[in-house]
Amino acid sequence: MTFSPTTRARRVHIDERPRRLTDMKNPVEVLRRKEAELERLQEEVDALRLVGKLLREQTLAGKQEPQTRGKVLQMP
């Protein structure tokens, strides 16, 4: 096979490096993060249930819903 001066050679990069144990995630750390996320989500669900209960009680007490509503804030 001959190459002319205008022909470009394609570079192919192949990672032949074997995976090391250091490349893997620490399962204990992953579990700790997931548990922390689960706890945060449970707190948000509990807060939403409390708000729902308060709104239901307000409606059942015969109070009118406010005409203006506040801003919706996203939890971090």
Supply the pTM of this predicted model. Answer: 0.48
What is the average pLDDT value for the chain, to the nearest integer?
Answer: 78
Query: Is residue 46, in this structure, part of any structural domain at all?
Result: yes
Any domain includes 48: yes
Indicate whether 40 belongs to any domain. yes
If one counts the domains in the chain, the total is 1
Q: What is the pLDDT of residue 19?
A: 62
**Domain limits at 35?**
24-59
Residue 34 CA neighbour count, 13 Å, CB half: 6
Cα–Cα distance measured from residue 48 to residue 76, given in angstroms and rounded to the nearest whole number = 15
Could you give the residue ranges of the DSSP H alpha helices within 14-76?
27-60
Residue 54 has pLDDT above 80, yes or no: yes
Average the pLDDT over 38-63 and give the result.
Answer: 90
| Cβ 59 vs Cβ 65: under 8 Å | yes
CA-to-CA distance for 21 and 25, rounded, in angstroms? 9
Render pLDDT for 9-46 as a digit per residue (tens, 0 to 9): 566 556 666 666 567 889 999 999 999 999 999 999 99
